Amino acid sequence: MLPFEISEYKERLGKTKQTMEAAGIEVLLITDPANMNYLSGYDAWSFYVHQMLVVMTDEPQPVWIGRKQDANGAKLTTWLDAHDIIPYPDDYVQSPIKHPMDFVADILKEMGQAKRHIGVEMDSYYFTAKCFERLQAALPNSVFKDATLLVNRVRLVKSDAEIMYMKRASKLAEKAMAAAIEAINDGVRECEVAASIYQAQISGTEEFGGDYPSIVPLMPSGNKTCTPHLTWTDSRYTNGDLVIVELAGCYKRYHCPMARTAVIGHPAPQVKEVADIVIEGLNVTLEAIQPGMTCEEVEQVWKRYLSDKKLEKDSRLGYSMGLNYPPDWGEHTASLRQGDLTVLEPNMTFHLIPGIWLDDFGVEISESFRVTEKGYEVLADFPRQLFVKPVLKAM
C-alpha cells in the first residue's frame, strides 16, 4: 500500500535526522499527521486521538505510538517493522485520568530515551497544551526543544514522485471546479453544488481515484463572499449572486488547491473590475516567478502591480502546500508575504491566491504552481476568468 519507494522514506528520514542534529535534538516527537505520513507512510483518520511517530538519531527506524485499534492500520500503511508499532490500551482514550503522553513517556524511558534533548512540535494542531504538560511532568530529566515545522521544512522541496501526485491532484481539481461551475445556477441549492464537487473530487478519473482534501469546499455566495472561509448552506442561488469556490483535488494526501469566482446573471461593474485586476495581477505575478527569488520578492511583484489600482490586500498572497491532513492543506512554512526570505527552489509548490475581500463582496481566482529550473509551472489547466452563468428562463 505504500505510495512511495521505501528508499524515498529513508531519504526523508535521513534529512530529518540531519536537521535534528543541527538543532541539537536527539529525539523528535512528531504529532503532525502529515509529518507522520511523510516519514512512515501512516495514513488513517486516527488523529482525533493522540498518536505520534518518534524519530531518534541513534535508532534506524522511527517508532509509531498510537491507539491499540489503530495499530493494525499502522502495520498496513507504514514501512515500519511490527515491533516498532506500539499500541496503547483504550482506557487512555479521552480519559479524565490517564493520558496517552504518560504512556509515551513510559515507552521513552524503556527505550533509554528519557534523558535526551527532545524536540516537540509546539504549535502543531494535535500537540495540545496538555500533551506538553504531561510529558514535562513525566520526563523531568529531558530537555525539551521547540521543533515546530522541523519536518515541514524538510517537506518544502518535493521529489519528482510527489510532484507526479500533485499533478494527479490537479486533474481532480480541474474536474471538481468544472463540476462546480456547471452546477451553479439560479434556483440550485448550494448543497447540490457542494455534492457535485465531492462527486468529481472523489470518484476521480478513469485512471485514478480522489482522496479527501484537507479542507472542504469553501463556497461563500452573495454578500457572504466578503469572507473566504464559509462553507455551504441549503439556500438556493438567485439571479445576481456572486459565488466563490475554493477547493482542491487530493491524491494520496497531496493537494492542488484552486479558487474561481462565478456570477449568476450579469456581473456588477465593480465585480468585473476587481476580477480583471485579480486575474491580471495573478498573471503578472506568475510570469515573474523564478528560482532564486525570495517569497517576499514574489509578493512585491503583486504589490507593485496593485499600487496604481484602488484596491488593497493586507493578507498574504500565498503559501507553500502539498501533503496534508485536515484542517489545512498549507504547510505553514513559506508564505508569499513581506518578511519571508525563503528562497524559491525548483519543486517547491505554492498556492498563489490573490483573493480580495471587500466589505460587501469578494473575488478569488487562484493557481497552484511549482517552481521549475527556469521559472514556474501552473499545476492545473483551468480558464482564469470570472465565470458568468446565464439565468435560465423558466419553462
Q: Please, which of residues 101-130 interact with its own copies by CB under 8 A?
A: 120, 122-130
Q: Which is nearer to its own copies, 13 or 138 (CB)?
A: 138
Region of 379 on the Ramachandran plot (φ > 0 left; ψ -120 to 50 alpha; else beta) = alpha
Note whether 229 binds its own copies by CB under 8 A.
Answer: yes
State in Å, rounded, how far the first CA of the chain is from the last one: 52
Minimum CB distance to its own copies smaller for 13 or for 121: 121
Among candidate residues 248, 131, 302, 84, the one with its CA nearest the CA of residue 118: 131
Q: Considering the complex, state which of residue 338 and residue 372 has its C-beta at the smaller distance from its own copies.
A: 338
Stretch of 52-60, 106-114, 270-278, 324-332 contacting its own copies, by CB under 8 A: 324-332
Interface residue with its own copies among 328, 375, 377, 378 (CB under 8 A) is 328
The yes or no reply on residue 52 touching its own copies (CB under 8 A) is no
Per CB under 8 A, which of residues 341..380 are in contact with its own copies? 355, 357, 359
Least distance between its own copies and beta carbon 372 (Å) = 25
Which residues, numbered 230-259, are part of the site for its own copies (CB under 8 A)?
230-234
Is residue 330 within the footprint of its own copies (CB under 8 A)?
Answer: yes
Rounded to a whole number of angstroms, the minimum distance from the CB of residue 208 to its own copies is 5
Task: Find the shortest distance in angstroms from Cβ 76 to its own copies.
Answer: 6
Q: Is the peptide bond before 269 cis (omega within 30 degrees of 0)?
A: no
Contact pick of 46, 170, 285, 366 for its own copies (by CB under 8 A): 46
Asked if 208 touches its own copies (CB under 8 A), the answer is yes
Position among 14, 21, 24, 45 found at the interface with its own copies (CB under 8 A): 45
Give the residue, chosen from 339, 373, 374, 395, that forms a contact with its own copies under the rule CB under 8 A.
339
- Are 237 and 221 spatial neighbours (Cβ–Cβ below 8 Å)? yes
If the CB atoms of residues 162 and 211 are measured against its own copies, the closer one turns out to be 211
For residue 388, what are the contacts with CB-CB under 8 A and spacing of at least 6? 262, 263, 265, 266, 267
φ, ψ of residue 237 to 5 degrees: the values are: -65, 150
Residue with Cβ nearer its own copies (16 or 214): 214
Distance of CA 233 to the CA centre of its chain: 24
Residue 127 or residue 369: which is nearer to its own copies going by CB? 127
Q: In the complex with its own copies, which residue's Cβ is closer, 4 or 357?
A: 357
The residue among 249, 246, 262, 266 whose CA lies nearest residue 354 is 246
Work out whether 190 is an interface residue with its own copies (CB under 8 A).
Answer: yes
CB closer to its own copies, 324 vs 368 = 324
β-sheet with 143-146: strand ranges across: 85-88, 63-67, 52-56, 27-30, 117-120, 143-146
How many angstroms separate the CA atoms of 186 and 325, rounded? Answer: 34
Find the binder of its own copies among 204, 257, 322, 354 (CB under 8 A).
204
Beta bridge partners of 351: 319, 368
For its own copies, what does the binding mask look like between residues 75 and 94, x meaning CB under 8 A?
-xx-----------xxx-xx
- 125 or 378: whose CB is closer to its own copies? 125
Per CB under 8 A, 185 contacts its own copies = no
Q: How many residues bind its own copies, per CB under 8 A? A: 83
Strand order across the 386-389 sheet: 242-251, 254-264, 386-389
Cβ(333)–Cβ(269) below 8 Å: no
Give the footprint of its own copies on residues 130-159 (CB under 8 A): 130-133, 146, 148
Residue 215, interface with its own copies (CB under 8 A)? Answer: yes
Length of the chain: 395
Going across the sheet that includes 318-321, the strands are 330-335, 318-321, 349-352, 367-371, 376-378
Single out the residue of 232, 257, 254, 211 nearest to residue 364, CA to CA.
257
- Cβ nearer to its own copies, comparing 13 with 277: 277
> Counting contacts by CB under 8 A, is residue 192 touching its own copies?
yes
Query: Looking at 53-61, 63-71, 264-272, 298-306, which segment touches its own copies (CB under 8 A)?
Result: 63-71
Q: How far apart are CA 12 and CA 14, in angstroms?
A: 5
Is the CA virtual torsion 156, 251, 350, 318 positive or negative? negative
Contacts of 20 (CB under 8 A, 6+ apart): 26, 28, 55, 57, 119, 147, 150
